[in-house]
Amino acid sequence: MLVYLIKRVNLLVTTLFLLSLMSFSLGHLFPGDSVINFTGQQSLTYEEYAQLRQDLALDESYFMQYVVYLERVFAGDFGLSFSSQSEVLRDFMRVFPASAELSFYALLVTCLIGIPLGLWAGIKRNTLVDKVIFSISAIANSIPIFWLGLLFILLFSLNLAWLPISGRLNLLYDIPYETGILLVDIALSDFDNKWPIYHDALRHLILPTLTLATLPTTLLIGMMRSNVISVMNSQYIKAARTKGLSLYQIIRRHVLRNALLPIIPQFGLLFNTLMTSTMITEIIFSWPGIGHWLLEAIYQRDYPVIQASLLLVSSFMIFINVLSDVCHTMVNPLVRKEING
């Protein structure tokens, strides 16, 4: 087990190392002056420029420059944004919770819909139910997410006028920033009569969450279905059936658990899909998260922001990947045995 953990941590560290190397090289690859690209300082006097150049060790070898870069990263100094001239890390911390919140709800919806449907389809294999679920998920899987978002807006906001189309909350509610997670912030705020505020926040959540959840849900249904089928075919299920357990008992005791286990390491993949979709969803629904921030940065050629967000977002993804892998090993006795044995 220890060896396994060390291996994983090793993977994590090397990957992060490579990522930081990549992010570092971006500072040189982006068009323009690298001092400005690294620091984001726009209006520099000649002396300040020379000083910064020295601080960044830009006249020394690439290795030294990289070391300096790492030091800055560990100190949380990602430079200033070109367009807002505020610290990139601070901006990141402001937008990150919004994306995380949205992704979390989408993941929740994915699980709530994907797991039962996948289970159902797997149990009723090759029946009408299975075919219907499968066809719907295949169709949903092929709808480009940006088109789906537009269709939702067209239908639910513009034609039916049920739901708002942009932002996280009516801007007139001035909720102070505490954690960045809106539903928590509302609870912490000192407004009285909070129900309308929660209600407004939920209404803003529906369309982005559904848009974002569609693709991962179809993936989860597929995974769940094939896992259930393989579990149902296994010997111990047959044994349990001959023992006289009802179908419901079998599903509850054996199928669900055993089918869920192999999904845990796949969470990395789900999360990856989610992250990609988040960027587009946030643009469509003007959700003030990472994707929105990053794309605005690209439109505005804001290189320090692009550089930092690549590093931060990918590090986060890798972390999640490794974490889900480790979790899987922790809970799944079969894998544990394989490693130890």
Partner 1 sequence: MMNNLTKVWLSTGIIIWLCAACEQIKDKRLKNGLIYCSEGNPESFNPQTTTSRITLDASAHQLYDRLIEKSDSSDQLVASLAESWDISDDGKTIDMYLRKGVKFHKTRYFIPSREFNAEDVIFTFNRWRLNTHPFYASADSYPHMQSYQLELLIDDIQQVSSHHVRFKLSSENHDFLTQLTTDYMVILSAEYGAKLALQEAQSQLDNYPIGTGPFYLEDFVKDEYIRYKAHENYWQGKTKIDQLVFDITPQSSNRLAKLITGECDVVAHPVASEMEVLQDRPGISLQSKNADNIAFWAFNTLKPPFNRSEIRRALAKAIDRQTIYKTIYYGMAFPANSLLPPSSWAYNNNLPTITYNPEQAKKELQAAGIEPGFKMQIWSAQIEREYNPNSLKMAELIKANLAKVGIVVEIVEFEWSTLRKKLLDYSYDSVLLGWTPDMQGPDNYFIPTLSCPAAVIGNNRAAWCNPYFDNLLHNAAASTDLKQQKDHYMQAQSLLLQEMPVVPIAHSLSFLAKQHNVVKVKFQPFSAISFKHAEKF
Partner 2 sequence: MASPDIYNEATHPGPYMLAWNKFKSDHVSWISFCIVLFFVAMALFAPLITPYHPLAQHPQDVLLPPSWSSAGDVRFILGTDDLGRDVFSRLVYGCQITFGLSLLTALAAMLVGTALGALAGMSKGIRASVFNHLLDTILSIPSLLLAIVIVAILGPGLPNTIWAIFLVLIPLFVHRTRQAIQTELKKEYVTAARLDGANNWQILFRSIFPNIVESIILQYTLAVSAAMLDIAALGFLGLGAQQGSPEWGAMLVASIDLIYRASWLTTLPGITMFLCLLSVNAVGHGLRNALKQRSE
Residues within the interface to partner 1 (CB under 8 A): 83-84, 94, 109, 112-113, 116-117, 119-120, 123, 153, 157-158, 161-167, 170-174, 193, 195-197, 199-200, 202-203, 205-206, 246-248, 251, 286, 288, 292-293, 296, 299-301
- Nearest CA among 174, 215, 202 for reference residue 101: 202
Among positions 84, 189, 272, 332, the unique one binding partner 2 when judged by CB under 8 A: 272
Q: DSSP readout, 46-67?
A: HHHHHHHHHHTTTTS-HHHHHH
Q: Looking at beta carbons only, is 194 or 336 nearer to partner 1?
A: 194
Binds 52: which of partner 2, partner 1, none (CB < 5-8 Å by kind):
none
Cβ atoms of 180 and 74 within 8 Å: the answer is no
Confirm or reject binding of residue 245 to partner 2 (CB under 8 A): no
Binds 317: which of partner 1, partner 2, none (CB < 5-8 Å by kind):
partner 2
Token reading at 67: 């070391």
Neighbours of 191 (CB within 10 A): 13
Longest Cα–Cα distance of the chain, Å, equals: 85
| Distance of alpha carbon 229 from the chain centroid | 29
Q: What is the DSSP letter of 151?
A: H
Compute how many residues bind partner 2; rule: CB under 8 A: 43
- Nearest CA among 49, 281, 260, 58 for reference residue 152: 281
Token reading at 72: 């800055």
Binds 89: which of partner 2, partner 1, none (CB < 5-8 Å by kind):
none
Ramachandran class of 191: left when φ > 0, alpha when ψ lies in -120 to 50, beta otherwise: beta
Cβ atoms of 35 and 58 within 8 Å: the answer is yes
Q: Looking at beta carbons only, is 26 or 205 nearer to partner 2?
A: 26
Q: Looking at beta carbons only, is 80 or 275 nearer to partner 2?
A: 275
Residue 336 has φ and ψ, to the nearest 5°, of -60, -40
Segment lying near partner 2 (by CB under 8 A), choices 59-67, 79-87, 235-243, 295-303: 295-303
Q: Looking at beta carbons only, is 173 or 319 nearer to partner 1?
A: 173
Confirm or reject binding of residue 95 to partner 2 (CB under 8 A): no
Q: Looking at beta carbons only, is 77 or 296 nearer to partner 1?
A: 296
CA 241 – CA 235 distance, rounded (Å) = 10
Binds 105: which of partner 1, partner 2, none (CB < 5-8 Å by kind):
none
Residues 127-166, one symbol each (x = binds partner 2 by CB under 8 A, - = not), give -----------xx-xxxxxxx--xx--x---x--------
- Helix locations, the chain, DSSP H: 2-29, 34-39, 46-55, 62-74, 88-123, 128-142, 145-152, 182-188, 195-232, 235-242, 247-250, 256-260, 267-284, 290-299, 303-331, 333-340
Among positions 93, 229, 256, 318, the unique one binding partner 2 when judged by CB under 8 A: 318
Residues 8-67 within binding reach of partner 2 (CB under 8 A):
11, 14-15, 18-19, 22, 26, 29-31
Residues near partner 2 (CB under 8 A): 11, 14-15, 18-19, 22, 26, 29-31, 138-139, 141-147, 150-151, 154, 158, 268, 272-273, 275-276, 279-280, 283, 294-295, 298-299, 303, 306, 310, 313-314, 317-318, 321
